[in-house]
Amino acid sequence: MKFTEEQDMLRDMVRRVADEKVRPLVAEMEETKRFPEELVEVFGDLGLLQMWVPESYGGPGGDLTSVCIAKEEIGRASLAASTLCANNSIGLILPLLHFGTEAQKQRYLTEAARGRTISAVAITEPEAGSDVSAIRTTARRDGDSYVINGQKSWITWAAQANYMLLFARTAEGRGHEGISVFLVDTKTPGLKIGRKEVKMGRHGSPTYQVFFENMRIDADCLLGEEGSGFKACMKILDLNRPSVAASSLGLAQAALDESVNYSKDRRQFGKRIADFQAIQFKLADMAMKVEAARTLLYSSTQEIDSGDTSRLTLLSSMVKCYVTDVAMDVALEAVQVHGSYGYSTEYPVERFMRDAKLNQILEGTNEIHRVIIARQLLGK
Ligand SMILES: Cc1cc2nc3c(=O)[nH]c(=O)nc-3n(C[C@H](O)[C@H](O)[C@H](O)COP(=O)(O)OP(=O)(O)OC[C@H]3O[C@@H](n4cnc5c(N)ncnc54)[C@H](O)[C@@H]3O)c2cc1C
């Protein structure tokens, strides 16, 4: 793939950051499951938290391809840290750029541009996972305020975030047309952080239950029109999903690299295991999948960045589904190439396997993406 000179420089810079600042934290993140707060400053100082904030608001600018390059490079070292990289894209920047008023943009984008802001996105509820239209959290208009009541589940960064993009119901009985979206300061009284989820992987990127008990917010926290939240949600997710895939691509590349290196070191039957055709074929298959995933990802982001969004939904679902499936396949094969050592925490491939699973589930499960792709093909 051909990238611009700035994008090549970005890749080099982020690769160095991944090696020097992220990699040394990985073992501790795995053991303690601690959120690496020091990375906020590291990423913020380099513009990696606030990618996409336009220069006119004090940000570094950037486009989808650049966000994906950064997330891919951090993803080679750690999927958890890659989730923090460009964290504000979905929670703050894209919603404001597409649905915010000028006053909202001035206030929040200018703050995000300083590189110390973290945001969370609160869509999922105990009874509303894939079916976003089943959201029950309510936002009742009361004069110049909305009063929020309800519960969210699986909210990443909820306890660390300064702001939360909250999807809540402003009209009963209207399905997805009754959903609105709000930008909420997480210090608002009535917002309570619940249980921290115990997860299989992506340690270092914590996820929580969140409760809203008569949380009163100003009416100007509403983004866009009342009832436009579902459409906004779909658009923001479409624009963000390729970057989730980019994290998985980094993971897949790392799993392939580890497997190539290990197969050249490990000897059995008097030979390197790399000399067995069975292992060579695995490596060849892994490499073909990674290359195909990279090509699909960046040809799609370049099409979207060119301003042609006629295939946005289709490409976004294809990229998310295909690349995250590739990462899962490649991580599984990496464990197999490593034999028993692949099953041990001494090598990173078991972590890749656990982490790869997650991206097949979040930001729309890969089953839902296949449904979306089929609908686009069949014209439904
Ligand atoms: C670690 C982690 C972090 C997360 N972070 C966030 C976050 O920050 N913010 C947030 O809002 N959410 C977050 N989520 C939630 C995540 O987005 C949801 O888990 C996801 O959308 C799937 O919803 P569900 O788990 O309720 O699965 P369900 O919707 O209950 O699905 C269960 C199974 O049924 C399948 N299925 C459901 N409906 C269909 C259908 N129509 N056709 C075919 N198959 C179907 C699914 O594909 C899946 O295999 C996170 C989840 C995890 C695990």
User: What mean pLDDT do residues 364-371 have?
Assistant: 97
Q: Of the candidates 256, 320, 264, which has an alpha carbon nearest to the alpha carbon of residue 288?
A: 256
Distance CA 141, CA 145 (A): 6
| Catalytic sites, residue numbers | 363
Cα Rg of the chain, angstroms:
21
- Pairs from 340-345 (Cβ < 8 Å, separation ≥ 24): 341/262, 341/266, 345/30
Res. 275: pLDDT tops 90: yes
- Testing ligand 1's pocket by substitution, the residue of 209, 354, 362 carrying the most ligand atoms inside 8 A of its CB is 362
CB atoms within 10 A of CB 258: 19
DSSP 8-19: HHHHHHHHHHII
**Which pLDDT does position 332 carry in this prediction?**
98
Distances (CA, A) of 248 to 193, 202, 242, 358, 376: 28, 12, 10, 10, 24
Measured in Å, residue 131 CA sits from the centre of ligand 1 at: 9
Measured in Å, residue 207 CA sits from the centre of ligand 1 at: 14
CB distance 151 to ligand 1 below 6 Å: no
Closest-lying ligand 1 atom to the alpha carbon of residue 124:
11
Closest-lying ligand 1 atom to the alpha carbon of residue 207:
3
**Which pLDDT does position 175 carry in this prediction?**
83
CB distance 217 to ligand 1 below 6 Å: no
Q: Whose CA is nearest to atom 23 of ligand 1?
A: 129
User: What mean pLDDT do residues 151-169 have?
Assistant: 97
CB distance 367 to ligand 1 below 6 Å: yes
Measured in Å, residue 22 CA sits from the centre of ligand 1 at: 28
Question: Per-residue pLDDT tens for 284-309?
Answer: 999 999 999 999 999 999 999 999 99
List 185's β-bridge partners, or say none: 163
Q: Which residues contact 176 (CB under 8 A, 6 or more apart)?
A: 132, 133, 230
Measured in Å, residue 362 CA sits from the centre of ligand 1 at: 6
CB distance 154 to ligand 1 below 6 Å: yes
Question: Per-residue pLDDT tens for 31-58?
Answer: 999 889 999 999 999 999 999 999 999 9
User: What mean pLDDT do residues 153-181 have?
Assistant: 94
For 289, the 3-state DSSP assignment is helix
229-265 and 64-77 are packed helices; what angle lies between their axes, rounded to 10 degrees? Answer: 40
List helix spans (H) across 217-348. Answer: 229-265, 277-305, 312-337
Measured in Å, residue 288 CA sits from the centre of ligand 1 at: 29
Q: Whose CA is nearest to atom 44 of ligand 1?
A: 367
**Which pLDDT does position 1 carry in this prediction?**
82
Distance CA 221, CA 359 (A): 30
**Which pLDDT does position 234 carry in this prediction?**
87
Res. 218: pLDDT tops 90: yes
Q: Which residues contact 78 (CB under 8 A, 6 or more apart)?
A: 18, 22, 23, 25, 26, 29, 204
CB distance 362 to ligand 1 below 6 Å: yes
**Which pLDDT does position 369 carry in this prediction?**
97
Read off the pTM.
Answer: 0.97
Res. 380: pLDDT tops 80: no
Set out the domains of the chain in order of their start, with CATH numbers: 5-112 (1.10.540.10), 119-227 (2.40.110.10), 230-378 (1.20.140.10)
User: What mean pLDDT do residues 270-296 have?
Assistant: 98
**Tokens of residue 332, six digits:** 């599984």
Res. 176: pLDDT tops 90: no
